[in-house]
Amino acid sequence: MARRPLLAGNWKMHKTASEATKLVQQLAYSYDDAYAGVDVVVCPPFTALRSAQVTLDFDTSSPIRIGAQDVFWEPSGAYTGAISAAMLRDVACRFCIVGHSERRMYFHETDEDVARKAAALIGEGIAPILCCGETIETRESGRTLAFVTAQIKAALSLLSASDAEPVVVAYEPVWAIGTGRTPTPEQADEVCAAIRDTYRELYGVAAGEALRILYGGSMNVGNVDAFRAMPNIDGGLVGGASLKAEDFMALVKAFS
Ligand code: PEP
């Protein structure tokens, strides 16, 4: 089955609102109709979501979509500093990263938190980009497949088959994020295949076939073709290389 590729840029804690406007403009200008077969998403920090969206709205023909980097699961209330899924929808977010390893590491997010966030997003019509991935210790001890599939099962635990339809999974080995190190494409594909099998077990054969799985971790213009050639990799979640329009668009082009 042909799955539509997706390239998502995770800007992390980079770019003020005005810097985001500039980068989004550059992306919109360098977008080419030849990329129409790829979903292109940028995930700026919360404070830049509005300006990024307004910039894209101004360029009415831009198919580039906006995503957030995190969400809180409660709909509203006394949760200082938190942002709800409805607030993200209000600024036209179509996607939201959840369970990124940096959130798990620095903000102590658990699998249960990730599941609640995914459910809150689905409730507002926003597609979660569910992150999973092993540490180097887990890989070296040979437990990668068991670890990653357990993460995915936990993250999906509150979603029915129809809820889970918009979900995108990003396989990101923790040791490859921002390090310049990557698994071989075959190693990455092995984990992505196990994720697809898990999805099939949970939601059926058709859902497994339709699931989009992204690879993330030091993806760049030099290695993208090798990842793209893998049967279970349908795109990328990109950190460093998404901060320059030229680099990010080269990755989009590779998946076109
Ligand atoms: C990420 O943060 O999701 C990521 C993959 O980062 P990088 O591309 O910089 O490794």
What pLDDT shows up at residue 79? 98
Q: SS3 for 88? A: helix
For helices 185-203 and 144-155, angle between their N-to-C axes, nearest 10 degrees: 40
What is the mean pLDDT of the segment spanning 49-68?
91
The pLDDT of residue 58 is above 90 = no
The residue whose CA has the least distance to atom 1 of ligand 1 is 239
pLDDT digits (tens, 9 = 90+) for 179-218: 999 999 999 999 999 999 999 999 999 999 999 999 999 9
Give, for ligand 1, the residue of 177, 215, 251 to mutate: max count of ligand atoms closer than 8 Å to Cβ: 177
Atom of ligand 1 nearest to the CA of 179: 10
The pLDDT of residue 248 is above 90 = yes
Largest Cα–Cα distance in the chain? 51
Q: Is 76 exposed, middle or buried (0-12, 13-18, 19+ CB in 10 A)?
A: exposed
Q: Kindly report the average pLDDT of the chain as a whole number.
A: 97
The residue whose CA has the least distance to atom 7 of ligand 1 is 239
Give the CATH number of domain 6-243.
3.20.20.70
**CA-wise closest residue to 121 among 147, 84, 91:** 84
Q: Is 208 exposed, middle or buried (0-12, 13-18, 19+ CB in 10 A)?
A: middle
Domain extent listing, the chain: 6-243
What is the mean pLDDT of the segment spanning 221-250?
98
The pLDDT of residue 102 is above 90 = yes
The pLDDT of residue 1 is above 70 = no
